[in-house]
Structures are given as C-alpha cells and as structure tokens.
Amino acid sequence: MNRLLPWRVAAWALGIIPLVFAVKWTVQSRLGPNPVEFLEHYTGDWTLRLLLTTLGMTPLRMLTRLTEPIRVRRILGLWTFAFLCLHFSMYLIFDLSFSVAQLAEDLVKRTYITLGFTAWLMLLSLAVTSTTAWQRRLKRRWITLHQLIYPAAILGAIHYLWLVKADTREPLIYLAILLILLAFRLPWSQLVSRWRLRTSAILKPCDPPD
C-alpha cells in the first residue's frame, strides 16, 4: 500500500492541479478575450492529456514491470471523464444554450461533434462500470467493454484535428502519441516483449515469468 501511495497522489494531482488553475484564472479574470473558448480548449486539451496518460499506464507497466501504473489507471480514467464532462457542459451551456434541437442539428451536420459525442458516450459507459462491483458483475465481458477506450481515444484525437483551421501541429502531436501508445497493444509489440523476456531470461534466469 505504501508503495502505491505516491502513485495515487500523482494521479489525483494530475486531475486536481489543472482544475485548480482553471478556477484560479477564472476568478482572476485571466482567461483572455474569449473566456468560453479558452475553457473549452483547456478542458478539451486536458481530456486528451489525461486520456493519453491513462493509456500510457499499460506500456509503463510493460517497460518497468511495476504493477502500480495499472492500479492508478481507474483514477486517471475517471479524471479524464470529469474533464470531458466539463468540456461537454461548456459546449452545452455556452454554445447551445441548452437547445436540444441545436444539439441534434450539430450531431447530424458537424462530424467533429458527432465524433466527440460518441467518444463521450463510450467513456460514460466506462465511468459507470468502473466500480469493483460492476467489474465483478461483468466478469470477462468487463475487459471487452473497457476496450472501448481505444476507439474513444481515436475519436477524441480526430475530433480535435477536424476543427482546426490550418495549423494542425498540435492535434497531430496528440494523434502521434496515441498511435505510439496503441502500438504497444499490437501483436508485434508482444513479440518484441516476448523477445525481450527471452533475452533477459538468458541474462537473469531468476526473473519470474511475466
């Protein structure tokens, strides 16, 4: 438990610190000439950053063989969802003024909204079933369900790329990091790690098998 504590603190800090800054800048009127746009971009950026961090835990475990990254994954995932909800509420409140008709129009006409909304629905189902009770109830299907994080992340990155006018550098950086993190899950990366295990087994025969 003590070894997990700094990991838990770090995971909570990753969610709380950007939130504290958002509140601080709002109160201090430091959001710039277009505060709504600032907060929409800020919460969207942090959703993607936290999502990429969550997806980085499995590769981190593969590289370090520590189990702690996996044990803070839920905290990171829920913070991702919290920022996504803030992002979505900014849009619902200030862009749509709660108009359901306009939301429907956007969902049909604007592909980047469709993608973002679909990603929100996916993460909503993951957040709801994130408890240990749901984990037990769904058993092996829980793992299948929670693989929805992969399409959700891809949709999120494309959602950002789609709305940029000309300077695609930042969304492409997010997309590139995502693809690298996803690449760790592909069969060839298993082959590589198997190869790594074999060579390290030769060097350190006492290591337990992964």
Partner 1 sequence: MLIKVAHPHPIKSSEITPEAVHTDRRRFLRQMGLVTAGAALAGYGRTEPTTAEANLAPLNVVRKSEMAGGENVTAYADITHYNNFYEFGSAKEDPARNAGRLRTRPWSVVVDGECEAPGRIDIDELLKPQALEERIYRHRCVEAWSMVAPWIGLPLSDLLKRFKPTSKAKYVAFTTLYDPKQMPETARGVLSWPYREGLRIDEAMHPLAFLSVGLYGRVLPNQDGAPLRLTLPWKYGFKSIKSIVRIQFTEWQPETTWNQLAPQEYGFYSNVNPAVDHPRWSQAQERRLGELFKRKTLMFNGYPEVASLYSRMDLRSQF
Q: Among 8, 10, 12, 31, which residue interacts with partner 1 (rule: CB under 8 A)? A: 31
Query: Does position 187 bind partner 1 by CB under 8 A?
Result: no
Decide whether 113 or 149 has the Cβ nearer to partner 1: 113
Helices (H), the chain: 5-27, 35-64, 68-71, 73-90, 100-109, 111-128, 132-138, 140-146, 149-163, 169-183, 187-203
Query: What is the rounded CA–CA span in Å between residue 149 and residue 51?
Result: 9
Cα-trace Rg, the chain: 19
CB of residue 81 vs partner 1: minimum separation in angstroms? 24
Handedness of CA 5, 6, 10, 16 (dihedral sign): positive
Query: Does position 144 bind partner 1 by CB under 8 A?
Result: no
Residues 75-134, interacting with partner 1 (CB under 8 A):
94-95, 97, 105-106, 109-112
Residues 160-179, interacting with partner 1 (CB under 8 A):
162-163, 165-167, 169
CB of residue 17 vs partner 1: minimum separation in angstroms? 20
Query: Does position 36 bind partner 1 by CB under 8 A?
Result: yes
Q: How far is CA 126 from CA 67, 73, 138, 142, in A?
A: 21, 12, 12, 9
Binding site for partner 1 (CB under 8 A): 26-29, 31-37, 94-95, 97, 105-106, 109-112, 162-163, 165-167, 169
